[in-house]
Amino acid sequence: MTVLYVAAPGRLIPNGWPEDGRPIDPLSQFHRRMVKDGDLIVKPESSKKKDDADGK
């Protein structure tokens, strides 16, 4: 299963980031650094289940 990342609460991502999350590019130093710095976090399971229930 693909790991989805969302912006951490209170963090702004340059060029934006989808609210429903998206996977990072593991080859991108920029994406890896945003995860390391805490700008991006793994999408919580409760949010994933809610999206699935809504048909998204």
pLDDT values of the chain reduced to their tens digit, one per residue, 56 residues: 799 999 999 999 989 999 999 999 999 999 999 999 999 999 998 765 555 666 65
Q: Which residue in 37, 39, 32, 38 sits closest to 14, CA to CA?
A: 39
Q: Which residue in 30, 38, 50 sits closest to 12, CA to CA?
A: 38
The DSSP bridge partners found for residue 27 are none
